[in-house]
Amino acid sequence: MQLAQHSTARTGFSRRTAVTVKGQAVASPVPASNPSALKTDVAKIAVLGASGYTGAEVVRLCALHPNIKVTVLTGDKQAGKNFSDVFPHLVTATNVPKLVKIDDVNFSDVDAAFCCLPHATTQEVIKKLPSTLKVVDLSADFRLRDPAVYAQWYGHEHAAVDLQKEAVYGLTEVYRDQVKTARLLANPGCYPTCSQLPLYPLLKAKLILPEDILIDAKSGVSGAGRSAKESNLYCEIAEGINSYAVGSHRHMPEIEQGLSEAAKTPVTVSFTPHLINMSRGMQCTSYVKLAPGVTVDDLRAHLAATYEGEPFVRVLSKGVIPHTRHVRGSNYALMNVFPDRIPGRAVVISVIDNLVKGASGQGLQNLNLMMGWNETTALLQLAMFP
C-alpha cells in the first residue's frame, strides 16, 4: 500500500531560492509552481540483473509506484523462475513477470530500464539498447567522466566512451536539473553518496579546506552483492569488523571527482572502507579541516540551509549523532557535524541505507525526475526500527 503524501511535504522541486550563511549564498529548494504539470503516464520498466540485491530492491520500490509497471526482469542464471522463487519476501508483489535471459528481451516495448548488472558487463549491454530508452545504471561503468581514470581503476578500457560522455551523474540533490533531462543516468555508488552529500556543499562554500580529508566508511554486507564469496560467509563476517580494499577501493576516484568539482581544485582523500556485521546500512565519518575563521556551528548551519526543504536529506539537531538503524529501509540520509578535539578540525557523520539511498532508492528518485513524475513517488517509506 502506498503511503499517503502529506500536504506539508516539499516535493516536485523545480526552482531554488537563495539562503545566506556566513556570507555564502546556497541553494534551497522550493515547491514546483505547477505540481499538476507532472506526468502521470504508466511506463513499462525493465530491471536488468534483477536477481541481485539492488535489482530486488528496485522491484520492491516499484511495486509501490502508481506510474510504473515492471514488464521485464532479467537474470540469466535464474531465467525461467518466478521472481518470488528467487526472492520469497516479494511473493506479494503482484503482476511481476518471470525472469528471462537478457538476449530474449524485446526492448521496443520498454520505456525505461534499471541496469543492475556487474561492472564492465553493463557498458556492453547499454550500448546495444535503443537510444530512445531511458536508462538508470546502478553499476560503476558510467560514473567516472575521464575514460583514462576509468581504465586506471578498473583495469580495462571503457567499451562505450561515447555513452560515457552522454551520461549524467545522478547525485540527485546536487545535479537535479541535469538529471531531469538525462537519457542515461549514472547512479552514484553508496560510499560516494554517503560521503559527498555533506562534504560537497561544505567544499563548494569554502568552509572546509580541500586537503587532509579523511573518510572512515563502514557498510553492511549487502554492499558486496549477492554472489557467493568465501569472504562473505557468516563465519567470516559474524562477530567482527574488517577493513578491505585499503588504499585501492574503486569508489575513491568517484568521491574525488565530485569533491574536486565542488572545491574547484583537485582533491585527494584518504578513504578506508570497513565491512560491518549487518545486512544493510552505511556510515561515513569524515574528518576535515576548518577554513580560517570558520566554526563547527557554521558548517552545521550551512548544511541545514543547503538541505532545507529537501525531501530525503536531514541535518539533525545540534549534538544528535546519526545512526544507521534510523535510516534502515528508507531513502533518507541523516547527517551532523561535531567538533574534533584537535583544534581547527571537525567530524562530519552521515548515514544512509546502502541499498536504498545508496543504490536503488536514489535510482528511482532519479527516474522519477527523468520521467517528469513527482520526485518522492514510492519513496516516502519511513525507516524500519527495531
**pLDDT tens profile 138-162:** 999 999 999 999 999 998 899 999 9
Q: What is the predicted pLDDT for the residue at 337?
A: 98
Task: Name the CATH code of domain 43-187+359-371 (choices 3.90.1150.10, 3.40.50.720, 1.10.10.10, 3.30.70.100).
Answer: 3.40.50.720
539511498: which residue's cell?
Answer: 357
Cα–Cα dist 154/307, whole Å: 34
Q: Is the model's pLDDT at 278 over the cut of 50?
A: yes
Report residue 238's pLDDT band, with 50, 70 and 90 as the boundaries.
Answer: confident
Helices 361-370 and 53-62, packing angle to 10 deg? 50
**Tell me: domain 191-352, CATH 3.30.360.10, correct?**
yes
pLDDT exceeds 70 at position 170: yes
CA pair distance 304, 172, nearest whole angstrom: 17
Residue 18 pLDDT greater than 50, yes or no? no
Q: Name residue, grid cell 568465501.
A: 230
pLDDT digits (tens, 9 = 90+) for 31-68: 343 333 455 589 999 999 999 999 999 999 999 999 99
Confidence of residue 224 (pLDDT cuts 50, 70, 90): low
pLDDT beyond 60 at 369: yes
Q: Say whether pLDDT at 356 is over 70.
A: yes
Q: Is 235 a catalytic residue?
A: no
- The mean pLDDT of the chain is 89
Kindly indicate the confidence band of residue 239, based on its pLDDT and cuts at 50, 70 and 90. Answer: confident
pLDDT confidence of residue 28:
40
Inter-residue contact 73 to 81 (CB < 8 Å): no
Check pLDDT > 90 for residue 6: no
385 with 281: CB under 8 angstroms? no
Catalytic, out of 62, 115, 116, 190: 190
Average pLDDT over residues 263-279: 95
Provide the pLDDT confidence category of residue 196 given band limits of 50, 70 and 90.
very high
Which residues touch 175 (CB under 8 Å, ≥6 apart)?
Answer: 168, 169
- Residues 250-272 have a mean pLDDT of 97
Where are the CATH 3.40.50.720 domain residues in the chain?
43-187+359-371
More confident residue, 231 or 182: 182
Residue 383 phi, psi (nearest 5): -65, 150
Look at residue 21 in the predicted model and tell me its pLDDT: 41
Please give the average per-residue pLDDT across 111-139, as a whole number.
95
Find the mean pLDDT for residues 261-283: 96
- CATH 3.30.360.10 residue ranges for the chain: 191-352
- Quick one: angle between helices 296-306 and 190-204, nearest 10? 110
**Per residue in 324-355, pLDDT tens?**
999 999 999 999 999 999 999 999 999 999 99
pLDDT of residue 39: 58
pLDDT of residue 19: 40
Given a cut of 50, whether residue 222 has pLDDT beyond it is yes
What's the pLDDT score for residue 236? 82
Pairwise CA distance, residues 144 & 137, whole Å: 13
Q: Cell match 523462475: residue?
A: 81
